[in-house]
């Protein structure tokens, strides 16, 4: 099941890869001829003395650009092929491991705080960021022997985190970070041969390692145990292979920026076309990736011929690639291992009922204390710290209570969603963000901004809701074929998130100030929430919590595994559907308040488990409490830290949550 998830396709297309390559070469030749035929003679004609713009552009822009497209496409596709093999996940791609987000964050930090670093070259800074992000991912997955799913999820989280930080920096100091948008869109535009030469040298240095890995990676298809039986050091092999894939894509990303989808789609196409063994897949993927990107870039150059406005190839690739991906999704058997290997740990001692109650009481008291601080302690208009005096209550409280109530409700909602998803998938790293719902909301707001123009906050809210609903529908539609199997749903969610991110990247690459409006929306609008909005958030939170409480029996039964739960008379399919819908609605309700990124949903259930609380009822209540606490604390910090500037609550929640998460993961030994 793991080795050849696309058996059917194999039989349909015996000479597939070559045919596919040919199918790509033909349009490339046609387009290439249309674009270049008049200019090729310039190669051998002697330069005229006068300035000849056509010749200069052809020699120093068009040609290096085409070579760059081939190099980048090939490197990314090879990277993707290796990752898909080693992570046994047909949806793995260089983006999955947080490499571009790391580079993006490094570029943002350097632009704002250490411009001197650019003296080494921007590509070196980006490379540094990628490597640090990759190291972080490895550190997170180390305890689990670099098993595929923890690697993917760690990569995803690191990616989300770095991406969020970079966006927030762009928001706070927007002046020249517009360049980050271009970089994020992956423009292949060139003006000299230098970047192309640099990249060729780097890739040439990395390529021999791929040859060494060919045989052992092929053996990995037999399964971990069989491979171990043959004397392969499986975890070290996996680490080495992932590291190589990271290096390949990090070189590319540092040279031209983010180009998504080639690394994902080229290997998938190759598989579908029928490349059987890993060697064939790697070679053909590389070739097809190179051709795909070349074709896309020729299309971009051809299409951009009339207007000179920037059309970043990376984002265009994503947009062209997205229908292919969505079409492929149902055809892919997500060959994931059963997740039982890393379900909830039992390191903390189990508590009995009275101890349970004690912990819950402590949580409740803590939350209450926090509420008092949040409402009454803060910064005065002149910036000094002070408790509210009696006279100030009527002026300050009307501003503080709605937003506090709103973020606390959002925290409870996210924690509930996280709790449900973690129970449902048996996967500790599951969090509401990766269902794709938040990305859907963001996307809808982006469309609204670019279509309507001046959008009021109510319109933005409606757009976000519509986006969330549409994404939910899409995710469920894609998941239906798999019987709403949780792992599949998460993969579909990841795919949709990545896709929407790419489209947003495309919209913002032109440096349009509207992209800052979008970023601002993404950082959450809790600060502007009105009493009615806050109250409705609280009602929704209570409602969701109540429904989840009602569903606690099926949740507990699911923990036994789907077959046993089915044996006990549970309709597993509809319970999956119900719980997924629950998590999605909770996420959708929280997203407009605190933005699409917080770790509250991920961390809150973990914190509660660490205290030793067991059982669905206390765990759920505890998680909701913890989620509310995290966001309430984060929102307070966001208000007072950089006074009078208000930091985005979602970001601060990430900053508060990330160390906790790291610590939690390191405990797992």
What is the gyration radius of the CA atoms in the chain, in angstroms?
26
Using CB under 8 A as the binding rule, whether residue 377 contacts other proteins is answered as: no
* 3-class secondary structure per residue, 354-412: HHHHHHHHHHHHHHHHHHHHHHHEEECCCCCEEECCHHHHHHHHHHHHHHHHHHHHHHH
Residue of the chain from 187, 416, 422, 611 that contacts other proteins (CB under 8 A): 187
CB-based contact 265:324 (threshold 8 Å): yes
Among 399, 560, 564, 641, which residue interacts with other proteins (rule: CB under 8 A)?
A: 399
C-alpha to C-alpha distance for 17 and 191, rounded to whole angstroms? 34
Integer Cα distance of 170 and 111 in angstroms: 10
190 binds other proteins (CB under 8 A): yes
**Residue choice 113, 114, 118, 385 for contact with other proteins (CB under 8 A):** 118
Stretch that binds other proteins, among 33-41, 337-345, 484-492, 517-525 (CB under 8 A): 517-525
Binding flag, residue 221, other proteins (CB under 8 A) = no
Q: Which two three-digit tokens encode residue 150?
A: 């923890």
Using CB under 8 A as the binding rule, whether residue 176 contacts other proteins is answered as yes
Contact flag: residue 38 with other proteins (CB under 8 A): no
Identify which range of 117-125, 289-297, 342-350, 581-589 contacts other proteins by CB under 8 A. Answer: 117-125
* Interface stretch with other proteins, choices 201-209, 395-403, 421-429, 481-489 (CB under 8 A): 395-403
Least separation in angstroms between residue 585's CB and other proteins is: 24
Nearer to other proteins, 34 or 452 (CB): 452
Q: Is 172 in the site for other proteins (CB under 8 A)?
A: yes
Nearer residue to other proteins within complex by CB, 261 or 521: 521
In 99-233, alpha helices (H): 99-112, 122-142, 148-172, 178-185, 194-219, 224-229
Asked if residue 49 binds other proteins (CB under 8 A), the reply is no
Site for other proteins contains 307 (CB under 8 A): yes
Residue 214 CB, nearest distance to other proteins (Å)?
A: 35
User: With binding defined as CB under 8 A, does residue 391 bind other proteins?
Assistant: no
Q: Please tell me whether residue 57 binds other proteins under the rule CB under 8 A.
A: yes
Using CB under 8 A, which of 534, 602, 646, 652 touches other proteins? 646
* Residues that contact other proteins, how many (by CB under 8 A): 61
By CB under 8 A, name the one of 146, 183, 419, 484 that touches other proteins: 183
Among 176-184, 275-283, 369-377, 552-560, which window interacts with other proteins (CB under 8 A)? 176-184
Q: Does 309 bind other proteins (CB under 8 A)?
A: yes
CA distance 632 to 410: 9
Query: Does residue number 458 form part of the binding site for other proteins (CB under 8 A)?
Result: yes
Q: What sign has the CA pseudo-torsion 282, 128, 72, 264?
A: positive
- Tokens standing for residue 157: 């989280």
Q: Does 45 bind other proteins (CB under 8 A)?
A: no
Site for other proteins in 413-442 (CB under 8 A): none
Question: Residue 493: in which H helix or E strand, if any?
Answer: helix 486-508
Residue with tokens 């009021």: 456
Told to check if 395 binds other proteins by CB under 8 A, we report yes
Dihedral of CA 485/486/491/497: which sign?
A: positive
Asked if 119 is part of the footprint of other proteins (rule: CB under 8 A), the reply reads yes
Q: Judged by CB, which is closer to other proteins: 80, or 185?
A: 185
The two tokens of residue 184 are 């994020």
Six-digit token string for 499: 């896709």
Alpha-carbon distance of 86 to 79, in angstroms, equals 11
- Which of 140, 149, 178, 272 binds other proteins (CB under 8 A)? It is 178
Q: How far apart are the first and last CA of the chain?
A: 30
The residue (of 340 and 391) whose beta carbon lies closer to other proteins is 391
Give how far Cα 371 sits from Cα of 179, 270, 401, 608, Å.
41, 56, 9, 20
- DSSP states along 577-642: HHHHHHHHHHHHHHHHHH-S--SHHHHHHHHHHHTT--SHHHHHHHHHHHHHHHHHHHHHHHHHTT
Counting contacts by CB under 8 A, is residue 46 touching other proteins?
no
Q: Which of 40, 173, 228, 483 binds other proteins (CB under 8 A)?
A: 173
Rule CB under 8 A: is residue 387 a binding residue for other proteins?
no
Cα–Cα nearest to 77, from 328, 267, 322: 267
Interface positions with other proteins (CB under 8 A): 51, 53, 56-57, 60-61, 115, 118-119, 121-122, 171-173, 175-176, 178-179, 182-183, 187, 189-192, 194, 307-310, 381, 395-396, 399-400, 453-458, 460, 509-513, 516-517, 520-521, 523, 525, 527-528, 530, 643-646, 648
């Amino acid at each position: 099941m793991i080795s050849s998830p696309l058996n059917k396709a194999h039989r349909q297309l015996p000479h597939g890869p070559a045919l596919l390559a040919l199918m790509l070469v033909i349009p490339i030749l046609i387009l290439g001829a249309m674009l270049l035929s008049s200019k090729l003679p310039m190669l051998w004609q002697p330069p005229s003395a006068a300035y000849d713009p056509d010749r200069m552009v052809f020699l120093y822009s068009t040609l290096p650009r085409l070579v760059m497209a081939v190099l980048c496409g090939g490197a990314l596709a090879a990277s993707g092929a290796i990752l898909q093999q080693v992570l046994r996940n047909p949806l793995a791609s260089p983006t999955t491991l947080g490499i571009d987000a790391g580079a993006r964050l490094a570029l943002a930090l350097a632009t704002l705080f250490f411009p001197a670093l650019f003296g080494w070259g921007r590509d070196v800074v980006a490379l540094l960021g990628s490597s640090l992000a990759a190291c972080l991912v490895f550190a997170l997955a180390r305890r689990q022997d670099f098993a595929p799913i923890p690697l993917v999820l760690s990569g995803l989280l690191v990616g989300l985190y770095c991406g969020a930080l970079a966006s927030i920096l762009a928001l706070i100091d927007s002046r020249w970070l517009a360049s980050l948008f271009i970089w994020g869109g992956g423009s292949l535009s060139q003006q000299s041969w230098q970047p192309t030469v640099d990249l060729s040298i780097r890739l040439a240095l990395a390529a021999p390692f791929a040859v060494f890995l060919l045989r052992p990676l092929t053996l990995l298809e037999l399964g971990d145990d069989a491979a171990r039986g043959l004397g392969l050091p499986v975890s070290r092999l996996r680490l080495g292979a992932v590291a190589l894939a990271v290096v390949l894509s990090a070189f590319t990303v540092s040279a031209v920026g983010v180009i998504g989808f080639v690394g994902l789609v080229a290997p998938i196409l190759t598989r579908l076309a029928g490349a059987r063994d890993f060697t064939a897949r790697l070679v053909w993927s590389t070739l097809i990736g190179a051709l795909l990107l070349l074709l896309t870039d020729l299309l971009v150059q051809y299409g951009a011929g009339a207007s000179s406005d920037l059309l970043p190839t990376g984002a265009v690739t994503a947009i062209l690639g997205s229908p292919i991906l969505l079409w492929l999704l149902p055809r892919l058997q997500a060959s994931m291992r059963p997740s039982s290997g890393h379900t909830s740990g039992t390191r903390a001692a189990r508590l009995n009922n009275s101890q349970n109650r004690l912990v819950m009481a402590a949580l409740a008291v803590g939350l209450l204390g926090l509420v008092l601080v949040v409402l009454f302690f803060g910064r005065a208009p002149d910036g000094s710290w002070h408790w509210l005096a009696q006279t100030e209550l009527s002026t300050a409280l009307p501003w503080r209570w709605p937003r506090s109530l709103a973020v606390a409700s959002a925290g409870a909602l996210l924690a509930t969603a996280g709790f449900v998803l973690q129970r449902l998938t048996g996967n500790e790293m599951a969090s509401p963000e990766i269902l794709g719902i938040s990305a859907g909301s963001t996307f809808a707001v982006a469309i609204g901004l670019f279509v309507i123009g001046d959008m009021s906050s109510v319109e933005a809210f409606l757009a976000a809701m519509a986006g969330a609903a549409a994404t939910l529908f899409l995710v469920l539609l894609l998941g239906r074929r798999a019987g709403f199997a949780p792992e599949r749903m998460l993969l579909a969610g990841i795919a949709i998130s990545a896709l929407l991110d790419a489209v947003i990247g495309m919209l913002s690459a032109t440096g349009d100030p509207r992209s800052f409006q979008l970023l601002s929306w993404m950082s959450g609008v809790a600060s502007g929430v009105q009493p009615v909005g806050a109250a409705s958030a609280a009602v929704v939170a209570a409602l969701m919590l109540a429904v989840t409480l009602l569903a606690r029996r099926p949740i507990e039964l699911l923990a036994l595994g789907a077959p046993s739960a089915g044996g006990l008379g549970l309709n597993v399919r509809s319970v999956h559907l119900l719980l997924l819908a629950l998590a999605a609605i909770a996420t959708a309700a929280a997203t407009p308040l605190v933005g699409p990124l917080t770790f509250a949903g991920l961390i809150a259930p973990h914190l509660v488990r660490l205290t030793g609380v067991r059982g669905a009822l206390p765990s759920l209540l505890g998680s909701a409490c913890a989620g509310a606490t995290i966001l309430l604390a984060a929102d307070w910090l966001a208000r007072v830290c950089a006074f009078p500037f208000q930091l985005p609550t979602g970001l601060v929640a990430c900053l508060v949550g990330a160390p906790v998460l790291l610590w939690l993961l390191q405990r797992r030994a």
